[in-house]
């Protein structure tokens, strides 16, 4: 089906209005103003508005923001809650925990000078700054694929609207536009669907360790004002995940935000081994721990969401530039796992890329080159230094568990400043870590009590996610026979459990023959977390962008 497409030409197109993309857009315009030149910059965002798909803890380190807008306070940036207290717990059991004395906390986990924020609101503010600088931002439009001609990325094509489930044009069919640019900045966040294709196409990761991921599930609660302590930051490791073992790792967070709101979340490393594990249910039971419960009791849950997190760090970082484009932020994997922070690193990478792009274009570059200037700037920056110091952090946890690995990290971070004279590697990709169901123990999760813990569907409802019903399923199976034919017998089809939104179901009576079972994809529920694309043991699920504007509508996430 060939359709005529409108084309718009820009100097720079940015894919994704998150911290990396927006910081890059702002920086481009700042550089243009400094040079007294023009740069046309366009940002496309698949969420229905800027911030709709942004989900983060978040404790925010303002380093990159200080560089981008030194006067952010006067500009009204939503950094309203300075961190007022840091607590770290090792959860030993459903009832017991010990609080780590401050002297044993790795330096990277200290949060003085940081702020408890909503990253979604910070992005909304950044978008306003960008628009004031002349950036064009178009939310509700998903970049469907990169335009590659003669091996050079020339821009992106926006997804068509008005296509039915069978792929036919509906009455309101509207062809997606081509946005062409000298350089395209890919800032889709963790496991961006275009970033994934580009990394494969240009073999950007051939010298890097496999990327590693986690899934973060987060809720926002409104609590009684008398139990609200703005700025209190609580981190934890251990129960319901492992403290000593390495089968299920991760950590938890609970932050007291503004307006009597408390955010709580659990991060589960996607290197977990038991296919019966359900990150969603682990999180629900986690909230019953006395250390956590006391913050939430008497409150109401107002929002829910989930997002994959990229955590391989420097060892897993792909090459950043390819002809005509670059990867920035978590699309490349800039998150600093030792700090569990990716926003300031995302912003910084976007700013560095913007500087390289602006310098190249002002020097007469017509686009389409491999922007090595970005990689050079990255290597010379504090961002690289920071990621270098953190390169072993996640690996030690993966190899030795939270307690022992954590102790090694304490030594490296606090005594060696993050600079052990060696680098450790974690070479097993997350989709290969599952044990067979027959060798694994089933996990019986407690029933939700409807006060602290909830079922999946009522949770997804709070993400306000929505997709036009009559459109092609955006979770594509490369081989439709695998879920029932292979994943079910081998791994009890883990998609049913790792998906935090109830997208995947195996339908059929318990004990029925596999031939009587059916794999159902409820694509409408999807919260765009990308976990399925990462964890499916057969790497059979391909997440592609649905019709623009679909997906969650997060507020204050």
Partner 1 sequence: MKALVSVKRVVDYNVRIQVKSDGSGVVTDGVKHSMNPFDEIAMEEAVRLKEKGKITEIVAVTIGGDKSEETLRTALAFGADRAIHIKEGGEVQPLTAAKAFAAVLKKEGAQLFIAGKQAIDDDANQTGQMVAALLDIAQATFASKVEVDGNKAVVTREVDAGLETIEVDLPAVITTDLRLNEPRYLKLPDIMKAKKKPIDATTFADLGVTPGAGFKVTKTAPPPTRSKGIVVKTVDELVAALKAKGLL
Q: Does 227 bind partner 1 (CB under 8 A)?
A: no
Instruction: Write down the least CB distance from residue 141 to partner 1, Å.
Output: 6
Site for partner 1 (CB under 8 A): which residue of 80, 260, 381, 522?
Answer: 260
Q: Does 440 bind partner 1 (CB under 8 A)?
A: no
Q: Does 273 bind partner 1 (CB under 8 A)?
A: no
Our CB check for partner 1 shows the closer of 121 and 349 to be 121
Site for partner 1 (CB under 8 A): which residue of 133, 174, 424, 544?
Answer: 174
Angle at 18 between CA 380 and CA 78, to 5 degrees: 100
Confirm if 334 and 64 have CB atoms less than 8 A apart. Answer: no
What does the per-residue mask of binding to partner 1 show for 81-120, with x meaning CB under 8 A? -------------------------------------x-x
Instruction: Write down the least CB distance from residue 255 to partner 1, Å.
Output: 16
Report which of 350, 375, 341, 349 is spatially closest to residue 22, judged by C-alpha positions.
350
Instruction: Write down the least CB distance from residue 248 to partner 1, Å.
Output: 31
- Segment near partner 1 (CB under 8 A), from 207-215, 235-243, 275-283, 459-467? 459-467
Confirm if 523 and 117 have CB atoms less than 8 A apart. Answer: no
Residue 326's contacts (CB-CB under 8 Å, 6 or more residues apart) are 183, 184, 185, 186, 320, 353, 356, 357, 371, 374
Our CB check for partner 1 shows the closer of 3 and 380 to be 3
Q: Does 48 bind partner 1 (CB under 8 A)?
A: yes
Q: Does 555 bind partner 1 (CB under 8 A)?
A: yes
Distance CA 550, CA 468 (A): 7
Report which of 551, 537, 490, 500 is spatially closest to residue 218, judged by C-alpha positions.
500
Our CB check for partner 1 shows the closer of 47 and 401 to be 47
Q: Does 476 bind partner 1 (CB under 8 A)?
A: no
Number of residues in contact with partner 1 under rule CB under 8 A: 33
Q: Does 6 bind partner 1 (CB under 8 A)?
A: yes
Residues 337-356 that bind partner 1 (CB under 8 A): none
Coil, strand, or helix at residue 506? strand
Report which of 211, 63, 50, 58 is spatially closest to residue 140, judged by C-alpha positions.
50
Confirm if 280 and 500 have CB atoms less than 8 A apart. Answer: yes
What does the per-residue mask of binding to partner 1 show for 284-313, with x meaning CB under 8 A? ------------------x-----------
Confirm if 361 and 374 have CB atoms less than 8 A apart. Answer: no
Q: Does 238 bind partner 1 (CB under 8 A)?
A: no
Confirm if 398 and 269 have CB atoms less than 8 A apart. Answer: yes
DSSP state of 178: E
Using only C-alpha atoms, the chain has a radius of gyration, in whole angstroms, of: 23
Exposure of 235 in the CB half-sphere (CA atoms within 13 A): 25
- Segment near partner 1 (CB under 8 A), from 147-155, 415-423, 488-496, 549-557? 549-557
In the block, which residue shows the tokens 């955010």? Answer: 263
In the complex, the residues that contact partner 1 under the rule CB under 8 A are: 6, 8, 48-49, 52, 118, 120-121, 124, 136, 138, 140-141, 158, 161-162, 171-172, 174, 176-177, 222, 260, 302, 450, 461-462, 464-466, 553, 555-556
């Amino acid at each position: 089906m060939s359709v005529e497409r409108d084309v718009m030409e820009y100097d720079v197109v940015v894919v994704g209005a998150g911290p990396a993309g927006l910081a890059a857009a702002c920086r481009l315009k700042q550089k243009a103003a400094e040079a007294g030149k023009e740069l046309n910059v366009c940002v496309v965002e698949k969420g229905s508005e800027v911030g709709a798909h942004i989900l983060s803890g978040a404790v925010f380190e303002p380093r990159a923001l200080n560089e981008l807008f030194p006067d952010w306070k006067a500009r009204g940036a939503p950094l309203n809650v300075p961190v007022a207290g840091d607590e770290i717990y090792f959860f030993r059991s459903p009832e017991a925990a010990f609080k780590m004395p401050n002297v044993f906390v790795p330096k990277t986990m200290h949060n003085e000078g940081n702020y408890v924020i909503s990253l979604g609101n910070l992005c909304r503010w950044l978008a306003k700054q960008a628009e004031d600088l002349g950036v064009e931002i178009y939310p509700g439009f998903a970049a469907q694929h990169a335009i590659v001609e003669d091996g050079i990325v020339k821009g992106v094509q926006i997804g068509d609207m008005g296509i039915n489930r069978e792929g036919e044009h509906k009455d309101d069919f509207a062809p997606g536009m081509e946005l062409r640019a000298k350089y395209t900045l890919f800032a889709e966040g963790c496991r961006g669907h275009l970033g994934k294709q580009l990394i494969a196409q240009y073999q950007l990761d051939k010298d890097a360790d496999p990327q590693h991921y986690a899934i973060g599930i987060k809720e926002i609660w409104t609590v009684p004002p008398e139990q609200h302590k703005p700025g209190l930051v609580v981190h934890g490791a251990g129960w319901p995940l492992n403290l000593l073992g390495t089968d299920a790792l991760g950590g938890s967070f609970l932050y007291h935000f503004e307006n009597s709101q408390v955010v709580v979340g659990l991060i589960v490393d996607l290197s977990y081994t038991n296919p019966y594990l359900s990150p969603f249910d682990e999180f629900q039971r986690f909230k019953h721990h006395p250390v956590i419960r006391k913050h939430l009791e008497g409150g109401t849950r107002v929002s829910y969401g989930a997002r994959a997190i990229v955590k391989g760090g420097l060892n897993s970082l792909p090459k950043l530039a390819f002809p005509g484009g670059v990867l920035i932020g978590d699309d490349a994997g800039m998150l600093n796992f030792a700090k569990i922070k990716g926003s300031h690193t995302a912003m910084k990478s976007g700013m560095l890329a913007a500087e390289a792009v602006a310098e190249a274009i002002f020097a007469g570059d017509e686009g389409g080159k491999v922007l090595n200037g970005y990689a050079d700037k990255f290597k010379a920056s504090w961002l690289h230094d920071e990621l270098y110091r953190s390169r072993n952090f996640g690996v030690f946890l993966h190899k030795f568990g939270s307690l022992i690995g954590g102790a090694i990290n304490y030594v490296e971070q606090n005594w060696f400043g993050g600079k052990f004279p060696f680098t450790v590697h974690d070479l097993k990709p997350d989709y290969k870590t599952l044990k067979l169901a027959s060798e694994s123990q089933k996990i019986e999760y407690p029933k939700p009590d409807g006060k602290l813990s909830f079922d999946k569907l009522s949770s997804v409802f709070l993400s306000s996610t929505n997709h036009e019903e009559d459109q092609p399923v955006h979770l594509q199976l490369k081989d439709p026979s695998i879920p029932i034919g292979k994943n079910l017998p081998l791994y009890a089809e883990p998609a049913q459990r790792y998906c935090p939104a109830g997208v995947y179901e195996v339908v059929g009576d318990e004990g029925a023959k596999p031939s009587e079972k059916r794999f159902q994809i409820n694509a409408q529920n999807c919260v765009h977390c990308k976990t399925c694309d990462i964890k499916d043991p057969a790497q059979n699920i391909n997440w592609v962008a649905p019709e623009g504007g679909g997906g969650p509508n997060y507020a204050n996430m």
